[in-house]
Amino acid sequence: MNVPVIAIDGPSASGKGTVAERVATRLGFHFLDSGALYRLTALAAMKHGVALDDEAGVAQLAAALPATFRDGAVWLAEEDVTDAIRAEAVGEGASKVAALPAVRAALLDRQRAYRQLPGLVADGRDMGTVVFTDAVAKVFLTASAEARAERRYKQLIEKGNSANLPALVADMQARDARDTARAVAPLKPAADALLLDTTHMDIESAVQAVLTHYALCKARSKQGN
């Protein structure tokens, strides 16, 4: 298919969501937040009383997920769940259901359906390694666990929540370990991905780095054709 994809993968709170969304806006491309699909699946399971380790049950929900993304809001059937899917418990649940092979398989076609002209920026953990292996540009965005915990801490405080920095660092490390160690689609850079460490980089510099990388990859792929 001749629709360009930019795959942006990396650990949680690395800033990849914000970077991916801004890159998509600059290029006028579609945007896929694949983590939201895992979060929606976990939320749907919780609402329907399906256990998060019931692989067949959760996969069935994932395959028929009544999810829509409209004007920055996320809907599950008739309910606006934009804030609900960001809750810590739902993130935990998402990490659990994401480790189930049948759930990942059930979400594959849905993710690939976002590939539409003029192009797609896809953000997740396995965009470059599994879902869009032929992406024209792949980026693996990281930052140290401490830097990511600090960003999450600031977000929580800004929203008026309480937060504990050492606990956030520990959470970040535990989630990384789970996402990296799982048997299916573990979190790892694609062999052909650009590694972008944003520990000492602001969002706008990261956006520019991705745009430059994409321009370079596009030029290279034109030469190859």
Exactly one of 29, 38, 114, 153 binds ligand DC (CB under 6 A); which one? 38
CB burial of residue 202 (10 Å; 0-12, 13-18, 19+) = exposed
Q: How far is the CB of 125 from ligand DC (least distance, A)?
A: 4
Specify the amino acid at residue 160: G
Six-digit token string for 201: 């980089």
**Dihedral, CA atoms, 72, 32, 13, 200, nearest 10 degrees?**
-100
Exactly one of 43, 138, 179, 190 binds ligand DC (CB under 6 A); which one? 179
Binding to ligand DC in span 57-96, by CB under 6 A: 91, 94-95
Do you find a cis peptide bond into 118, omega within 30 degrees of 0? yes
Binding to ligand DC in span 92-131, by CB under 6 A: 94-95, 98, 124-126
Residue whose beta carbon is closest to ligand DC: 35
Six-digit token string for 207: 């956006």
- The nearer residue to ligand DC, 10 or 119, going by C-beta atoms, is 10
| Contacting residues for 120 by C-beta, under 8 A, at least 6 apart | 3, 4, 5, 6, 24, 29, 30, 31, 32, 114, 132
Place of tokens 């690395």: 14
- Taking CB under 6 A as the rule, does residue 213 contact ligand DC? no
- The nearer residue to ligand DC, 57 or 91, going by C-beta atoms, is 91
- Taking CB under 6 A as the rule, does residue 15 contact ligand DC? no
Q: How far is the CB of 182 from ligand DC (least distance, A)?
A: 8
**Is residue 179 helix, strand or coil?**
helix
Exactly one of 8, 12, 214, 217 binds ligand DC (CB under 6 A); which one? 12
Stretch that binds ligand DC, among 31-39, 64-72, 201-209, 217-225 (CB under 6 A): 31-39
| Interface contacts to ligand DC, rule CB under 6 A | 12, 34-35, 38-39, 91, 94-95, 98, 124-126, 179
